[in-house]
Amino acid sequence: EQLFVAQELINKVKSKCCGIKGYQKSKNMKKLKMFISFLLFLLFTSIQVKAGDAPKAQDIPVYKKVSHLGTRTAEPSVTASLEQNQLAVGVSHYMGIVKVYVYGANGSLMVSSSVAIEGNGLCTLDLSAFENGSYNVTVELGNIIYWGMFDI
């Protein structure tokens, strides 16, 4: 729609410039080029503003609480992110049951989930019923425990 409006304005300016001779025509063409450049600038900045409005996931730093005591294999990695009240916990390099717990600021268990993972997997929890505040996430991978803090 904005591109169509810009094309209409360009056509109107062009129609006014027709019939002018010599020096005035080249002077008006410079003005026309500047005007077109300005319209394109406005068009692209409005597109960038719209693209910047999309909500992005909040990455939650997760730290290992208990060391890995198993055999020498690739150590599991855990990531957590919060996007639109959905907590996503990603686990890679692990085979077994993953348990995820979310605790409130007072230490009470708010929600938990467990999922079986073979290699890589994702566990998501719906936090839409949670009130604004601080929360802790604990991820148990057998004898390895990871934890992190986040705010809603």
CATH number of the domain residue 123 falls in: 2.60.40.3080
Is there a single domain that holds both residue 42 and residue 70? no
Give the domain range for residue 117.
Answer: 58-151
Is there a single domain that holds both residue 92 and residue 141? yes
Q: Please report, as a single letter, which amino acid is at residue 99.
A: K
Is there a single domain that holds both residue 66 and residue 125? yes
Is there a single domain that holds both residue 89 and residue 137? yes
- Tokens standing for 75? 């150590």
Structure confidence by residue, pLDDT tens digits, 74-123:
788 999 999 988 999 999 999 999 999 999 989 999 999 999 999 999 99
Is there a single domain that holds both residue 70 and residue 127? yes
Picking from 35, 52, 69, the residue at the C-terminal end of a domain is: 52
How many domains are there within the chain?
A: 2
Is there a single domain that holds both residue 93 and residue 79? yes
CA distances for 92 relative to 50, 59, 87, 95, angstroms: 34, 16, 17, 9
As a whole number, the mean pLDDT across the chain is: 78
pTM of the model: 0.58
CA dihedral 65, 66, 71, 75 (to 10 degrees): 0
pLDDT at residue 49 greater than cutoff 50? no
Interatomic CA distance for residues 142 and 96, integer angstroms: 8
pLDDT band at 51 (very low <50, low <70, confident <90, very high): very low
Which residue would you say has higher pLDDT here, 24 or 96? Answer: 96
pLDDT at residue 41 greater than cutoff 50? yes
CA distances for 100 relative to 58, 107, 145, 147, angstroms: 18, 15, 10, 10
Interatomic CA distance for residues 2 and 7, integer angstroms: 9
pLDDT at residue 147 greater than cutoff 50? yes
Looking at residue 97, its pLDDT comes to 94
Picking from 11, 34, 52, the residue at the C-terminal end of a domain is: 52
